[in-house]
Structure 1
Amino acid sequence: MSSPIFADPILDGAADPTVINRRGTEEWWMFYTVRRAAHVGPGVEWVHGSPIGVAVSSDGGASWDYRGTVVGLDDPADPGLNTHWAPEVIWALGEYHMYLSYITGTPDRWPGFPRRIVHFTSPDLVAWTRRSVLPLASEFVIDAAVARSPDGLYRLWYKDEGNGSCTQAATSPDLYSWTHQGIAIPGSRQGGRGHEGPNVFELGGHHWMIVDEWRGQAVFRSDDTRAWERQGLILDLPGDAPEDRQVARHADVVVQDCWAALVYFTHPNTGTDHTHEMDTPSARRSTIHWARLTVEDGILHCDRNVGTLQLQVLQD
């Protein structure tokens, strides 16, 4: 069974995980959104004002030690409590890069508040330097995913809430300057389904994208990371563990030799998100789990009911 691998010990709202090996060590670092599950305030204020939490594992992900929250991510022009969501953290071109969804303040509603993706770099995963706000398709963008494509360019995929919650794409030769490329996965305005939380990875000879459709993770396959073919849904059915009975939400993927770990969060005490049912700390709490991905005959398979996570550090 997939019992939770981590729960935030302070605010009990761990969400949107990303997992990365700290180079030169056996440590795996998890960065995640810390929602305020017990916050007393109007509307959706509890999902705002969130810091980025850090947990570290020295045993391949079997156990995680809470390391507090990341400091220095606020815009200096924004005093007070601000909102940090869905960090994407990668190692590339000699440094760590974080692409963070950022909202000024702590809104109590969804519409009317710009959200942008901000680039940071770090030499060690601890100290982060703010580099820029990315010039993307709208002022309502969140959930960055970054990977290198077969054409040698880095690609950024992200949710554009200003255009039907589609996934947009941009390219860069250096992870600093970005060129808009257009819609990669259609949303509600393009005849598709609204979604969020894209993640792109390579496994079994194909490139894959998963997106959170709030009913499970939709799977898309590509040979070039530009044209994507839908394959279906995974993690839409309950797991066996008592705290893993709801659909899996915003996830990250850590590729191993012939399999991959999909690390996701779920609300164990409710079946929906951001609705009237999310009005108690119990309903709002969220926990981090993992599932095992494999590819067979060009099909991505997902096993949710797995044992202890055991990641290995792969050589470059």
Structure 2
Amino acid sequence: MAPDPLFSDPLGAPTDPTLVEGPDGTWWLFATQRRVDDDGPGVTWVHGTDIAVATSDDGGLTWTHRGIVDGLDPGEGRNTLWAPEVVFAEGRFHMFVSYITGVPDRWPGHERHILHHVSDDLVTWEYCGVVPLSSDYVIDACVAPTETGYRMWFKDEAAGSTTWCADSDDLETWGPARPVIEGRPHEGPNVFTLGGWHWLIVDEWRGQAVYRSDDLSRWTPDGHILVEPRGHHADVVTTDDEAWIFYFTHDVSPFEATGAGEDPATRRAVVRVATARVVDGHLVCDPDEPVVLDLRRATRTR
């Protein structure tokens, strides 16, 4: 059985987790490492962040914190790294990470870009450049293979904080971006295949909104999961008949509590895991169900 919570880090706030199998079968968890004890003004505590990494050699039941990932910041001084997406494709590991110059003390007014790095071992990373997308205010990449190449889904804050996508043959050059899920603002898209359907989940800050598709292009709303406890920006690893959803939660949401984010206690976060299944064509997930976790059974591997 997986422990609850599954993982935290020494700074107390791993967010936006993503998981990938390493070259030797060890599993790696990458996450934004928020700075819960930062005493700067406004929301400096969610900026100036590094990417933390932990590994597990027992199928995901226990995790060893390995520190932060070096070599991701192409700029000078202290900058902001968010929401890593790590996939194995074209013979190498690829990381797509959100990037903001500096350590802003407020949310709006600062360009956000998605950077591309490559690695052979998940330790040493080579910077490839900025991914050209729909605006200069994009974050939260998710990448998955298609029948003809690869597709990236991402949040475009310049388009009402909605989900867009772009296609690539090789993860190096990208076609024009287009909207996927519009309407209510959201973030953190994640796409996976389970039970004969493609699924897209997005963080609406009231749980994960679920969408279903048979072609990765046309998406139909299919309710919400992880409403309580409120599951934020998630990653999904599938098996033959079920999926494990890795997400982060706060004991007290810093964006709902009085004096939002001013108390470090409200900033703390943990990574949790829940099991999802397809029942009668719908994605169902009970976060209170004990999770039998063994990533060695995963079908979404490198």
TM-score, normalised on structure 2? 0.95
Residue 275 to residue 18, structure 1, CA distance change in 2 (3 Å) = farther
Q: Secondary structure at the match of 1:127?
A: coil
How many angstroms does 1:274 deviate by?
8.9
Cα contact 1:201–1:207 (8 A) shared by 2: yes
Q: Deviation per CA, 1:33-88: give whole Å up to 9, x if none.
A: 0000111010010000000000001111111000010001111xx32111000000
| Residue 134 of structure 2, aligned match among 134, 137, 156 | 137
CA distance in 1 between counterparts of 2:297 and 2:173 reads 30
| 1:3 matched residue in structure 2 | 4
Deviation at 1:175, TM superposition (A): 0.7
Residue 95 of structure 2: aligned partner: 98
Q: Does 1:86 align with 2:77?
A: no
Q: Residue 49 of structure 2 aligns with which residue?
A: 50
Q: CA deviation at 1:139?
A: 0.3
- The residue aligned with 1:123 is 120
State the partner residue of 2:12. 12
Structure 2 match to 1:70: 69
Confirm or deny that 1:160 pairs with 2:151: no
- Which of residues 278, 281, 297 is equivalent to 1:298? 281
Name the structure 1 match of 2:218: 227
Contact 1:256 1:312 in 2 (8 A): no
Q: Which residue of 2 aligns with 1:199?
A: 190
RMSD across aligned C-alpha pairs, in angstroms? Answer: 1.6
Alignment deviations for residues 87-116 of structure 1 (CA, whole Å, 9 cap, x no partner): 000011100000000111100011111010
- Whether the aligned pair in 1 keeps the contact of 2:257 and 2:266 (CA below 8 Å) is no
In the other structure, the counterpart of 1:183 is: 179
Structure 1 Cα separation of the partners of residues 112 and 39 of structure 2 = 23
Contact 2:96 2:116 in 1 (8 A): yes
Among 198, 201, 210, the residue aligned to 2:201: 210
* Cα displacement (A) at 1:153: 2.3
- 2-structure distance, mates of 1:271, 1:125: 32
C-alpha contact 2:93 2:118 (8 A) present in aligned 1: yes
Compute the displacement of 1:299 (Å). Answer: 0.6
- Matching of residue 254 in structure 1 with residue 237 in structure 2: yes
CA distance in 2: counterparts of 1:308 and 1:278, whole angstroms: 34
Question: For residues 150 and 242 of structure 2, what CA distance do their matches in structure 1 show?
Answer: 23
**Which one-letter code corresponds to 2:8 in the other structure?**
A
SS in 2 for 1:107: coil
* The 10-residue stretch of structure 1 (268-277 or 107-116) with the greater mean CA deviation from structure 2: 268-277
Q: Separation in 2 of the partners of 1:130 and 1:193?
A: 34
Q: Secondary structure at the match of 2:266?
A: helix
Is this contact kept in 1: 2:274–2:291, CA < 8 A?
Answer: no
Output the TM-score relative to the length of structure 1: 0.91
Give the corresponding residue for 1:243.
none
AA in 2 matched with 1:135 = P
Aligned residues: 298
AA aligned to 1:311 is: L
Alpha carbons of structure 1 residues 117 and 271: separation in structure 2 relative to 1, 3 Å: closer
Alpha-carbon distance change, 177 to 274 in structure 1, aligned in 2, over 3 angstroms? farther
Report the alpha carbon displacement of residue 269 of structure 1 after superposing the two structures with TM. 2.7
- Which residue pairs with 2:36 in the alignment? 37
